[in-house]
Structure 1
Amino acid sequence: MILNNSSRYSKLTIARHCLIMIGVFIFLSCSDDVTVVEEEMVLEVEIVEEEIEETTEPEEEVVVEEEQIEGVDFFLPNIDLSNWKVTLPIGSPDEVEPPEILDYAINERLIPYMYNDSTDGSLVFYTTPGSSTANSSYSRTELREQMVPGSNNTNWTFAEGGRMMGTLSVPEISTDASGNFHRTLVMQIHGRLTNDQRDLIGEDDNNAPPMLKIYWQKGKVRVLTKKLKDLNATDEEILHTDAWEDNEGHTFSEDIGIHTFNLEIIASDGRLEIILNENESVVYEDIHMQKWSVFENYFKAGNYLQTLDAGASAKVKYYDLEVTH
């Protein structure tokens, strides 16, 4: 009885083992199939992704232009030209008045002689011997004050007063045959006859002498004013240009060379003061200034080269220029 039960138990054990082996075989077979299917799916996904990558167009590169900033990337002069005209060393000579002068940066006539230097914020006045005005032999690229834009007929007297301030330099100027620098006028107060005065003395134009001339000369600032040849001259005789002559002049002690400097001119009733760099000045307050009160006046600023030498030239740079009355 015991033997029969043992035999039955052995058969059952063998059967269980067979079933377990069959189950394992089936599981492994199914796992292999799943792995194959998964590998095929991954491969298809990779192929699709490759196709997408191959067909994707590259994005266009966007170039952003950086905005230039005044005072950082470039500099402009602090000069309002609304009340100035300029005379050029060309033509008979040529002049450019407001409002045309306001577009000087794109004016082809002006560009060779009057233009911006954006590296230092200056307005450059370049000149060389060429055309001259009726009362001079020398050429200029020079501003002339116009209290009424476009008109020369409104001017000022010393009794009314005037003040001009400028920051400037003379970085380039030629030399003569002896190697000495030429000189150039950088500022003026010019006299003008009224129409009645012009007619009284029988002149063809309204020109009167310049009361003040300021030169760049040998690296220094030199000032000349006018004085009467005859203090007993009549009111009519005073109106003639030949009644006046240059005084002995004054040369400031500071050697400014090609460096930037400041000039201030203050004209008032019977008095004229010129100040260099706010620390050195010369004052004229005498009978000659009192007698000068009969004339009208206007300011001038720029580059009035005082030579006819072939090949001569000069550059004057203005950084600031301001006039008040």
Structure 2
Amino acid sequence: MNKIRLFSLCMICFLSMQLKAQSSSVDDHQQTQVQKKKKKKKRFKLSGIDLSHWSVTVPAAREDGKPLSVEPPAILDYGNNEALKPYMYNDSIKGALVFYAYPSEATTANTKYSRSELREQMVPGDNNTNWTFSQGANMKGKLQMDEVTKAADGKYHKVIVMQIHGRLTNEQRDAIGQKDNNAPPMLKIYWQDGKIRVKTKVLKNLNAHGEDLLYTKAWGDDKGFTFEQEVGFKKFTLEVQVTDGRMVVILNNNEYKVYDDIHMRKWGIFENYFKAGNYFQSRDKDGSARVNYYELEVTH
């Protein structure tokens, strides 16, 4: 009888251990499936950037040789636009809107460089409605240099990732006899060798006033400013705050460059618009860059 009882106890223990092992295996399997589902959910993301007030210019050429530009509402369907796909597309793993640029033959007026760059349109499809410093404006983006080639000297090619561009009104254009509405860019923000560098315009003659301010030749480049923090190929945030006679550029919410001087005050004569993306600053044959935008928002 003792042998029978001992055998029965052994069998009970064995079966109990088997049931626990099976239960644990089922739990592990279920947990693995849940983890896989979570991973699958994380694999497909979109940036969520609202493009309803942006047009885009890319290195592709139109039939007349000029660079291809797409305005709202067509830009909202960029994912199905075969002409845009090589230059502006979603990275659904990173959740980024990617801008790719290289030195093509299709360049805009007044430059030798190519771009895959957004242009703000306060009124969708219209470039004639813009803003002044006195009206105020704010742009903030989260972005990342994804990849960029190097020049012969071993340094990375420069890329402009944000701008404030000036624009003449039709009346100003006619007053100075200019053939188009182009005005200088007040602000250029570069990704340069892993750091963020800012360039602005300054008056050559501080006594200039009225229509004299409207000529491109009246404005020169400042010496530039480079933020201390190195962003490299990591994500970073840039914010540009504009008020009457004042401009502030902010990197990662902890470094600030403030422009509050006569140049900013006299710049108030111009209308302006924001630009963001990948303005590739080289004509090197094999050069290129990809810039990822995760967030981009403009307020007025």
Which TM-score band applies after superposition, normalised by the shorter structure?
A: 0.7 to 0.9
Q: Identity over aligned residues, as a percent? A: 60
Matched ranges for 1:1-325 at <5 A: 72-91=42-61, 92-130=66-104, 131-325=106-300
Partners of 1:102 and 1:132 in 2: CA distance: 23
Q: Match of 2:52, as an amino acid?
A: S
Is the 8 Å Cα contact of residues 70 and 76 (structure 1) preserved in structure 2? no
Is the 8 Å Cα contact of residues 60 and 83 (structure 2) preserved in structure 1? no
**Distance change (3 Å), C-alpha of 1:236 and 1:71:** farther
Is the 8 Å Cα contact of residues 68 and 74 (structure 1) preserved in structure 2? no
**Which segment is superposed worse, 87-96 or 315-324?**
87-96
Structure 1 runs of 4+ with >6 Å offset: 66-70
Q: Secondary structure at the match of 2:60?
A: coil
Q: How many residues align?
A: 260
Partners of 2:48 and 2:272 in 1: CA distance: 24
**Greater strand content:** 2
Provide the TM-score with structure 2 as the length reference.
0.85
* Superposed displacement of residue 178, structure 1: 1.6
Let me know the Cα RMSD of the aligned residues: 1.5
Is the 8 Å Cα contact of residues 103 and 285 (structure 2) preserved in structure 1? yes
Provide the TM-score with structure 1 as the length reference.
0.78
Q: Match of 1:132, as an amino acid?
A: T
**Distance change (3 Å), C-alpha of 1:69 and 1:78:** farther
Is the 8 Å Cα contact of residues 168 and 318 (structure 1) preserved in structure 2? yes
Is the 8 Å Cα contact of residues 104 and 110 (structure 1) preserved in structure 2? yes
Q: Which has the larger radius of gyration?
A: 1
Q: Match of 2:126, as an amino acid?
A: S
Partners of 1:243 and 1:95 in 2: CA distance: 29
* Superposed displacement of residue 235, structure 1: 1.1
Q: Secondary structure at the match of 2:42?
A: coil
Structure 2 residue runs without a partner (length 5+):
1-35
Partners of 1:158 and 1:195 in 2: CA distance: 18
Q: Secondary structure at the match of 1:95?
A: strand
Partners of 1:151 and 1:68 in 2: CA distance: 43
2:23 alignment partner in structure 1? none
